[in-house]
């Protein structure tokens, strides 16, 4: 495995567009606990992990692939996980699926 690559998790703070008790749609984004758990699992692979909150980024277009996914799929694309410059996976996935996708890019 290459330790030169950095995994980036493009995420956004969890929100409830229709209210926390709404049955019409679920939350978008991830909770702090979800991101911390995912970050810790990825770090066990021995690679660096960077968290990128898309709401706090000055220019999302600096990451063209992530920008295009977000424009196409909206918040459902989040989280987007990249390894180096390649997208490994996007959207809500189980941690083991994300780890497998990351390993495939290393």
pLDDT at 18: 72
**pLDDT digits over 36-50, tens only?**
999 999 999 999 999
Query: What residues of the chain score a pLDDT lower than 50?
Result: 1-3
6-105: CATH architecture: 3-Layer(aba) Sandwich (3.40)
Query: For residue 35, what pLDDT is reported?
Result: 93
Cα 100 versus chain centre, distance: 14
Instruction: Please state, rounded to an integer, the average pLDDT across all residues of the chain.
Output: 85
Amino acid 95: pLDDT: 92
pTM here is 0.83
**Element counts in the chain: helices (H) and strands (E):** 3, 4
- Annotated domain spans of the chain: 6-105
For residue 77, the model assigns a pLDDT of: 87
């Amino acid at each position: 495995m290459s330790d030169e690559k950095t995994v980036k998790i493009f995420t956004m703070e969890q929100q409830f567009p229709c209210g926390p008790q709404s049955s019409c749609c679920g939350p978008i984004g991830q909770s702090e606990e979800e991101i911390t758990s995912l970050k810790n699992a990825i770090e066990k692979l021995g690679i660096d992990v960077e968290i990128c909150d898309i709401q706090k980024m000055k220019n999302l277009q600096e990451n063209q692939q992530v920008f295009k996914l977000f424009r196409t799929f909206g918040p459902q694309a989040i989280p987007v996980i990249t390894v180096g410059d390649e997208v490994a996976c996007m959207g809500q996935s189980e941690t083991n699926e994300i780890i497998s996708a990351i390993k495939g890019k290393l």
